Amino acid sequence: MADTDLIPVTVLTGYLGAGKTTLLNRILSEQHGKKYAVVINEFGELGVDNDLVVDTDEEVFEMNNGCICCTVRGDLIRIVGGLMKRRDKFDGIIIETTGLANPAPVAQTFFVDDTVRAKTRLDAIITVVDAKHLPQRLADSHEAEDQIAFADVIVLNKTDLVTPEELAAVEAQIRKINQFAHIHHAQKANVPIAELLNQGAFDLNRVLAHTPGFLTEDDHEHNDDIASMSFEAENPIDPERFNAWIGALLAEKGQDLLRTKGILSYAGDDRRFAFQAVHMIADGDFIGPWKEGEPRTSRIVFIGRNLNRPQLRRGFESCQAA
């Protein structure tokens, strides 16, 4: 399918001191035979010579469509456009965000701009967190929580600086925010690169394999804490019903819904349909056929604030074809 021609983009987030730059240096210095363009904001920390390093100012703007959560990184649109003109091709783009950055604008950039969408695909958001200091960061900054909520992959770094009990506690804290991200324990960001890049992290079949079980039905989150929920439907989904439901849901609750991801089995189609959204901005495409004999279970995941489990479950189940 055409998706494989698109250049994968990996977004690297994490607050200052978590080990983001250490990880980036490892990715760039390891001999993996791949060539990456790297977009950074804090040049000088990077210790590796790479002729495809781009230094940028994070420039976020609001889309002029009246939706305040539709924020986009204009600098990335220009940089991706510029990189596409180069003759020497590369295997991926890695975007490092500043420590205090909200990941939404960078993710939304890959949905909103047609030129960017035509050439690249958002592969995964990797968030690096520091096992020792995460509890304190979560207490004092909104961004730390957002960065975990947005992550497809979490590098839980500096595990050597905490006791096994502290590590278990911090992992439980991460899971409370985001049940679905793949967590890697690391010291000095020593995660195998193959586990980080070109993940196709939106393939929920893989992501959900790591899910530690579902919450109970009566769990009804109604506070400012971020939570994550997933739902399944055994019968095929009616595309029209789904579009009507998800469209209305995102329009109404988009500000609270940080990420929405789904793999759907549409009635009468042998291909899997991948759906994803960041706040109100949504995108979807077929991503290849269901495997022979594989149960065609549709799944959807929400990560956000003020999630109403029974309402979301009923809504999703009502999208099944009659």
Partner 1 sequence: MSEIVSADQILDTRGVRRDLGAFVVGAAFDRTGFACAFALGDGTVRIAPPGDGEWASVAAHDGAALSLAAGAVGRAWVSGGDDGRFMAIAADGTATEITAFGMKWVEKVASHADAKAGRLACAVGKLVHVFDAGGKKLKTLEHPSSVTGLVFDAKGKRIAASHYNGASVWFVASSSDTPRKLEWKGSHTGIAISPDGDCIVTAMQENALHGWRLSDSQHMRMTGYPSKTDALGFTKNGKWLASSGADCVVLWPFFGGGPMGKPPTELAGGDGVTCTFVACHPQHDAVAAGFADGLVVMADINSARILPVMGPGRGSVSALAWSPDGTHLAVGTETGFAAVVDFSKR
Residues that bind partner 1 (CB under 8 A): 43, 51, 53-55, 57, 59, 61-65, 72, 74-75, 77-79, 82-88, 113-115
Distances (CA, A) of 94 to 38, 55, 157, 286: 5, 12, 19, 25
Which is closer to partner 1, CB of 40 or CB of 125? 40
Assess contact for 287 and 203: CB atoms under 8 A: yes
Query: In terms of C-beta density within 10 A (0-12 exposed, 13-18 middle, 19 or more buried), how is residue 308 classed?
Result: middle
| Strands ordered across the beta sheet of 271-278 | 226-233, 298-305, 257-265, 271-278, 281-289
Nearer to partner 1, 64 or 163 (CB): 64
Output the smallest distance, CB 88 to partner 1, in A.
8
Cβ proximity to partner 1: between 70 and 303 the closer is 70
Tokens (6 digits) for 222: 């109604």
For the bound state, the minimum distance from the C-beta of residue 64 to partner 1, rounded and expressed in Å, comes to 4
Report residue 126: phi and psi, to 5°: -105, 125
**Least Å distance between CB 78 and partner 1?**
7
Q: Which is nearer to partner 1, 106 or 201 (CB)?
A: 106
Minimum distance of partner 1 from residue 116's CB (angstroms): 11
- Quick one: 57 or 165, whose CB is closer to partner 1? 57
Do 79 and 39 contact (CB within 8 A), yes or no? Answer: yes
Q: Shortest gap between Cβ of 167 and partner 1 (angstroms)?
A: 38
